[in-house]
Amino acid sequence: MALEDFERSMARCVRCSLCKFPPLEQVKSWRFANVCPSITRYNFHAYSGGGRLLIGLALLQGRLDYTDEMTEIIYRCQMCGACDISCKYNRDMEVLEPQYELRARLVNDGQLLPAHMPVIESLRKEDNMLQRLKVDRGKWAEGLDVKDITKETAEVVFHAGCRLSFDEDLWKVARGTVSLLKKAGVDVGIVGSEEACCGGRAYEMGYQGELIKYAEHNIDTWRAAGARIVITSCSDCYAAFKILYDKIGLKPNPQVLHITEYLERLIAEGKLRLTKEVPMTVTYHDPCHLGRKAEPYIHWQGVEKKAYGQLILHDPIKEFRRGTFGVYEPPRNVLKSIPGLRLVEMERIKEYAWCCGAGGGVKEAYPDFATWTALERIAEAKTTGASALVTACPWCEKNFNDAISESGDRIEVYDVVELVQQACGGA
Amino acid sequence: MAEKEDLVEIVGSEGVSDAPEILAEYSKDKSFVPPIEPRCVVKPKTTEEVQRIIKWANDTLTPLIPVSSGSPRFRGDTVPTAGGAAVLDLSGMKKILWIDRRNRVAMIEPGVTFGELRPEVEKEGLRLLMPLLPRRSKSVLASALEREPIIMPRYHWDIGDPMLCTEVVFGTGDLFRTGAAAGPGTLEEQRKSGQAQKNPAGPSQASLHRVIQGSQGTMGCVTWITLKTQLLPKLQKPFLVGSHRLDSLTELSHWLIRLRIADECLMLNNSNLAAIMAKKWPEEYRRLRDNLPSWILFFCQAGYEYFPEERLAYEEEYMSDIAQRIGVSPVEVLSGVSAYELLAILQAPSEEPYWKLRHKGSCHDIFFLTGRDRLPELIEVMHNLASRYSYPVADMGIYIQPVVQGTSWHCEFNLFFDPDDLKEVETVRTLSVDAVNALMTEGAFFSRPYGPWADIAYRRDGETTAALRKVKGIFDPNNIMNPGKLCF
């Protein structure tokens, strides 16, 4: 796809501003009546989904030239997709897709964001987004008795992802995941130091070529290992494998599952028994990439037609992704399976969840904005009375923890896996 | 009595009554509001007469209590609030002034009832946006002013719908028109140019219909309104969905409204549906109540002038997919209740006796607005309270209506009771006061605070109350309209 393919969609934006808020039916209080971190923080229409569509259209039609300010506006956005879901609550148009293409256009035209350049350079050299050495990628698994699928086959491949592989504070999640899978008797292997980035974050930053490169690499690796299932604890990786790879025509053969989906299955089958009480009240944060952005991709090729001078019709009928079919229940069901644990919900949940703030290259380029966004979510979590904020993505966990360290806020942050481990007696 | 002569001079002798039996009838209703006998009842026939009566009341400082609907009345809103009042009974103003199919608008006076208006709009190929089974004597204008929820949330775009423009005589005696009816141009000129007094906002930046609606005769007296109507469908296909889980049904309702694939859409508990459907009392009521699932969603899909069969087919296909995903089964007959029969019942006002009176002879309603996610806990609050007061929970009716495109949900508890059983009366009276307090504390929004509810609501929001008093002071400086009330 290209920006040109979305010209009509961009032209259809009526500046109603519904992309800035949860749909009215979902609003539960004034305090949390926003859904887009960018417009909430910067409070000028250009910083909204609709505003960026107008920029894209003007750029496409040659009415606007590149400026540094424009690049800033386009990149001060986590690409969380909340604008897209709010708009499409009752409209048939694309909001997020044109923004992907807008960023790609910037990159292709050499309008690069300086803060992203070293990250991408490192990615190309070391195959990770954290500017670390590739040889260190497998260190998280040292001492774990787990198969290396570059040397032997395994039914299930666990893909740790860049954040879990290199962030020592989060190794417990990756190691815990492998321990749980082994405890449940799963034939699991890892790629270790040969594992590569999913390419999803680079794609969101506008570097679409990187996605193709890593999709081909990862799919080849899994094929060689004979894997039937690919599991990841990282929501970004999950969305890349399941949605983005499919979108670019490289749908993987192995079934792609997020760890919460697989844990739900193992618990239901009795292969994993949660017996130890975890007496906590927690609230669950839906990662964007596991929630609204994890809805299966729907391929469509056809034409738009105008009927009776005003009705926009698609031939063949186009089904829009509205976030309804993201992965919402598996993490909740897993949490509800933990004895003694009480789950309370925040106001903005599921497809209407507020972003953690880390995505879209924001954490790399605008850490203050990432922190501010996380603190908004933490404030919401605290209103539930929960003592802990639980998520299912290492990028969310990292960003929440960073924000808490900066602000001195008091709330614990966990990955679902960590709590399941506790309920399994520390497996 | 000099005042009576003044009133006779305005409306004629047949329009004024101070007969004891008439005064006794207007002194009370079926609510728990204490009775106060009015001084007289005056029945105007025209706007000019209404204006003259209000001017007379200002001159003599006589409290005026406007009434539009016939008895039985239920909510205490027409019981005089002060001694020496004159009841301004508008039920004789029965003109259906205009029905315009092109714009789907009807203009009606206060005395027009649902029973009278429905056949007239149907002659024009239109239908009314009905509330749930209004009583035959209910004024359509009063229902719209009271913001009674309509059973077709798909056509409910604003909390003020289906009311559009109004003509009102304020407490000052001044005649005013709201919305597009205010001008420019006379009503006739507007109609000649294709307009239909359809836009309720204005004149200018002031949307005074927001002040008039819900104030129920405390700011002024409405002498006509324009009303939004809808086309009569060519084909209709109704469904019933039963479940013991309310959240499954509210989820399905959410999608039906969001995808705009259902017209009528409402939920009842088994007690209420049984009360509506039963013909043989009490056997059939008990049998239905016991056989029906705890909750029943009723919805209807429709086809209109163009491609009605095709429209019904795709709406049903979408609906079936969603129902399957949620795990519920829409059917045409549920536990002996036919969806088609229920549809026919819901499209008209209630048969006599009024459906809420059939079970025990009287009924007290408690209703509020809330969000979909809050419904279960607020219903639990009510269940717990009813149990504490030993009110039989199985008898309690519950009606849930998504409003304004499903952005809010009207939740109504119907407490049926025997008016001759003093113990039961006292139970319901005390239960209702406690319930309103408890529900309000839990976040239920009483947007239509009738009778004693108003005091509870006002106590919690002093600033709004003070602002409302200022507004009343502007439109009714001598405090003659429903003195003591700010709304309802």
* Domain extents in chain A: 120-268
B93 contacts B223 by C-beta, under 8 angstroms: yes
Question: The domain that contains B364 carries what CATH number?
Answer: 3.30.70
DSSP character string of B3-70:
HHHHHHHHH-GGGEE--HHHHHHHT--SSSSPP---SEEE---SHHHHHHHHHHHHHHT--EEEE-SP
pLDDT at residue A103 is higher than 60: yes
pLDDT at residue A219 is higher than 90: yes
Give the whole-angstrom CA distance, residue B302 versus residue B319: 13
For residue A88, give how far its alpha carbon lies from the nearest alpha carbon of chain B (Å). 11
Residue B371 sits at the chain A interface (C-beta within 8 Å): yes
Instruction: Give tens-digit pLDDT for B249-265.
Output: 999 999 999 999 999 99
Q: Is residue B28 part of a domain?
A: no
Whether residue B210 sits in one domain with residue B101: yes
- Contact state of A28 with B254 under an 8 Å Cβ cutoff: no
Residues 6+ apart with CB under 8 A from B317: none
Q: Is residue B57 part of a domain?
A: no
The three-state secondary structure class of B72 is coil
In chain A, what residues touch B406 (CB-CB under 8 Å)?
25
- Contact state of A24 with B258 under an 8 Å Cβ cutoff: no
Class of domain A120-268: alpha beta
Lowest mean pLDDT among A306-310, A383-387, B166-170, B200-204: A306-310
- What confidence score (pLDDT) does residue A312 get? 87
Give the whole-angstrom CA distance, residue B410 versus residue B428: 21
Give the whole-angstrom CA distance, residue A183 versus residue A293: 31
Residues 6+ apart with CB under 8 A from A396: A235, A285, A287, A356, A358
Task: Name the packing angle between helices A49-60 and A96-108 (round to 10°).
Answer: 50
Confidence band for B205, pLDDT divided at 50, 70 and 90: confident
Whether residue B104 sits in one domain with residue B227: yes
What's the token pair of residue A222? Answer: 């899994």
Whether residue B178 sits in one domain with residue B124: yes
Question: The domain that contains B187 carries what CATH number?
Answer: 3.30.465.10
Instruction: Give tens-digit pLDDT for A159-205.
Output: 999 999 999 999 999 999 999 999 999 999 999 999 999 999 999 99
In the sheet that A147-148 helps form, which strands lie side by side, from edge to edge? A147-148, A188-190, A156-159, A229-232, A255-258
Facing residues of B88 across strands? B42, B66
The continuous run of DSSP H or E covering B326 comes out as: helix B308-326
Helix H, strand E, coil C: the string for B220-289 is EEEEEEEEEEEECCCEEEEEEEEECCHHHHHHHHHHHHHCCCCCCEEEEEHHHHHHHHCCCCCHHHHHHH
Whether residue B182 sits in one domain with residue B100: yes
In chain A, what residues touch B372 (CB-CB under 8 Å)?
25
- What confidence score (pLDDT) does residue A269 get? 97
pLDDT at residue A67 is higher than 60: yes
Q: What letter would DSSP give residue A244?
A: I
Straight-line distance from the first to the last Cα atom of chain B, in angstroms, rounded to the nearest whole number: 30
pLDDT at residue B101 is higher than 90: yes
For residue B386, give how far its alpha carbon lies from the nearest alpha carbon of chain A (Å). 27
Whether residue B338 sits in one domain with residue B256: yes
Nearest CA in chain B to A23: B407
Confidence band for B206, pLDDT divided at 50, 70 and 90: confident
Whether residue B370 sits in one domain with residue B243: no
- What confidence score (pLDDT) does residue A361 get? 97
B130 contacts B207 by C-beta, under 8 angstroms: no
Q: What is the mean pLDDT of residues A398-427?
A: 94
- What confidence score (pLDDT) does residue B47 get? 97
Residue B283's alpha-carbon distances to A198, B274, B288, B345, B414, in angstroms, are 67, 11, 9, 20, 20
Q: Is residue B419 part of a domain?
A: yes
For residue B330, give how far its alpha carbon lies from the nearest alpha carbon of chain A (Å). 21
Whether residue B314 sits in one domain with residue B298: yes
Residue B81 sits at the chain A interface (C-beta within 8 Å): no
Whether residue B338 sits in one domain with residue B375: no
In chain A, what residues touch B254 (CB-CB under 8 Å)?
25
Residues 6+ apart with CB under 8 A from B283: none
Tally the domains of chain B.
Answer: 3
pLDDT at residue B1 is higher than 60: no
Task: Name the packing angle between helices B270-277 and B339-346 (round to 10°).
Answer: 80
Whether residue B284 sits in one domain with residue B225: no
Residue B149 sits at the chain A interface (C-beta within 8 Å): no
Instruction: Give tens-digit pLDDT for A357-409.
Output: 999 999 999 999 999 999 999 999 999 999 999 999 999 999 999 999 999 98
Whether residue B210 sits in one domain with residue B105: yes
A53 contacts A39 by C-beta, under 8 angstroms: no
Q: Is residue B32 part of a domain?
A: no
Q: For residue B325, which amino acid is it?
A: R
Question: The domain that contains B334 carries what CATH number?
Answer: 3.30.70.3450
Q: What is the mean pLDDT of residues B35-64?
A: 97
* Numbered residues of chain A with Cβ closer than 8 Å to any chain B Cβ: 24-25, 28, 89-90
Q: What is the mean pLDDT of residues A15-43?
A: 96
Interface test with B, best of A18, A25, A30 (most B CBs within 10 A): A25
Among residues B207, B231, B255, the one where a domain terminates is: B231
The three-state secondary structure class of B350 is coil
DSSP character string of B373-386:
GGHHHHHHHHHHHH
Q: Which of A28, A89, A90 sits opposite B371 (nearest CB)?
A: A28
Residue B373 sits at the chain A interface (C-beta within 8 Å): yes
Q: For residue A379, which amino acid is it?
A: A
Nearest CA in chain A to B260: A90
Q: Is A56 left (phi over 0), alpha (psi -120 to 50) or beta?
A: alpha
B453 contacts B436 by C-beta, under 8 angstroms: yes
A420 contacts A263 by C-beta, under 8 angstroms: yes
Instruction: Give tens-digit pLDDT for B214-246.
Output: 988 999 999 999 999 999 999 999 999 999 999
Q: Is residue B45 part of a domain?
A: no
pLDDT at residue B488 is higher than 80: no
Among residues B201, B231, B261, the one where a domain terminates is: B231
Among residues B181, B209, B231, the one where a domain terminates is: B231
Nearest CA in chain A to B408: A25
Give the whole-angstrom CA distance, residue A63 versus residue B286: 72
- Residue B95, number of CB atoms within 10 A of its CB: 14
In chain B, what residues touch A24 (CB-CB under 8 Å)?
405, 407
Compute, in degrees rounded to 10, the torsion defined by CA atoms B282, B284, B287, B289: -80
- Contact state of A89 with B258 under an 8 Å Cβ cutoff: yes
Q: What is the mean pLDDT of residues B122-130?
A: 97
Of residues A291, A224, A282, the one with CA closest to residue A258: A291
In chain B, what residues touch A89 (CB-CB under 8 Å)?
258
Residue B406 sits at the chain A interface (C-beta within 8 Å): yes
Facing residues of B221 across strands? B169
pLDDT at residue B3 is higher than 80: no
Confidence band for A15, pLDDT divided at 50, 70 and 90: very high
Exposure of B20 by Cβ count < 10 A (0-12 exposed, 13-18 middle, 19+ buried)? exposed
Give the whole-angstrom CA distance, residue A299 versus residue A244: 11
- What confidence score (pLDDT) does residue B403 get? 97
The continuous run of DSSP H or E covering A230 comes out as: strand A229-232
pLDDT at residue B157 is higher than 70: yes
Of residues B171, B182, B234, the one with CA closest to residue B205: B182
Q: For residue B105, which amino acid is it?
A: V
Facing residues of A415 across strands? A391
Confidence band for B2, pLDDT divided at 50, 70 and 90: low
Whether residue B319 sits in one domain with residue B394: no
Q: Is residue B131 part of a domain?
A: yes
Give the whole-angstrom CA distance, residue B396 versus residue B271: 7
Confidence band for A309, pLDDT divided at 50, 70 and 90: confident
In chain B, what residues touch A28 (CB-CB under 8 Å)?
371, 373
- Contact state of B373 with A28 under an 8 Å Cβ cutoff: yes
Whether residue B314 sits in one domain with residue B361: no
In chain A, what residues touch B306 (CB-CB under 8 Å)?
none
Q: What is the mean pLDDT of residues A299-318?
A: 90
Q: Is residue B434 part of a domain?
A: yes
In chain A, what residues touch B377 (CB-CB under 8 Å)?
none
Query: Which contacts of B358-362 are long-range, i.e. CB under 8 A and separated by 24 or more positions?
Result: B358/B275, B358/B278, B358/B281, B358/B285, B359/B275, B359/B281, B359/B282, B359/B285, B359/B395, B359/B416, B360/B416, B360/B417, B360/B418, B360/B419, B360/B424, B361/B417, B361/B418, B361/B419, B361/B420, B362/B30, B362/B416, B362/B417, B362/B418, B362/B419
In chain A, what residues touch B407 (CB-CB under 8 Å)?
24-25
Q: Which domain holds residue B263?
A: 235-346
Residue B258 sits at the chain A interface (C-beta within 8 Å): yes
pLDDT at residue B9 is higher than 90: yes
For residue A92, give how far its alpha carbon lies from the nearest alpha carbon of chain B (Å). 12
- Contact state of B372 with A25 under an 8 Å Cβ cutoff: yes
What's the token pair of residue A424? Answer: 């399994």
Nearest CA in chain B to A347: B373
B107 contacts B61 by C-beta, under 8 angstroms: no
- Contact state of A90 with B258 under an 8 Å Cβ cutoff: yes
Percentage of chain B modeled with pLDDT above 90: 93
- Contact state of B371 with A89 under an 8 Å Cβ cutoff: no
In chain A, what residues touch B371 (CB-CB under 8 Å)?
25, 28
